[in-house]
Amino acid sequence: MPACTSASVINLQRRLICAVMLPAIVLGHTLGYSLDLLPAAALPLLIVTILPARKLFSTVPNCVTILRTLLAILNALWPTGSPALRCGCGIAFVALDFVDGALARRLKQATPLGGLLDEEADAFGTLVASTELMRLSLAPRWLAMHQGSAHYLVRHGSSNCLPRRCHVTPPHPQPALRLLTSCAPLPVHHRRVVALPWL
């Protein structure tokens, strides 16, 4: 699959995840549930249905990322009464974040899908941590909602408002034509389209 097609597929998957997670956070807030309850129920379904199942466990870093996502999901769906256990889950979540990145670089298994999984795990972990701060009365509900939904708002807004452009490499002309066209400006369809670096 060409890099441009792969990037557009990942971008579409990211937009779909954001399009489901944002309403889940708002609906949970409206119904008076914990902010992370409905997103925790939706995220596994999204991972299984939107992402390619055969590639989810294809690399070691992906398996570690899925493990830490499951830690956050379990903590959101069934929060324990023990603060020490919740704290331990949080520390394990952060530690595994370092492990999956190090493994991806060390084993040369960095993939666009792994990057998406890692990004969504971080975003959901932030939502769970924000909810935990609210549960402990260390942050007001509006701040927890803002922090927990910030990633989904920014990602959904940026992918809708600023479309990603593909890198287009101009075709190589024949040697005789190269000499004739070396001083002439390239036609429009030969010009390189550059992606915005922050997308």
pLDDT in tens, 100-141: 999 999 999 999 999 999 999 999 999 999 998 888 888 888
pLDDT of residue 173: 46
59 within 8 A of 107, measured Cβ to Cβ: yes
- The structure tokens 């530690």 sit at 95
In tens, the pLDDT along 43-79 reads: 999 988 888 888 888 899 999 999 999 999 998 988 7
pTM higher than 0.95: no
Could you give the angle at the alpha carbon of 73 between the alpha carbons of 75 and 35, nearest 5°? Answer: 80
pLDDT for 198 equals: 47
Q: At a CB cut-off of 8 Å and minimum separation 6, what does 1 contact?
A: 9
3-state helix, strand, coil in the chain (%, to 5): 70, 0, 30
- 180, pLDDT greater than 80: no
Lookup result for tokens 């807004």 = 157
The DSSP call for residue 120 is H
| Contact (Cβ atoms closer than 8 angstroms) between residue 195 and residue 168 | no
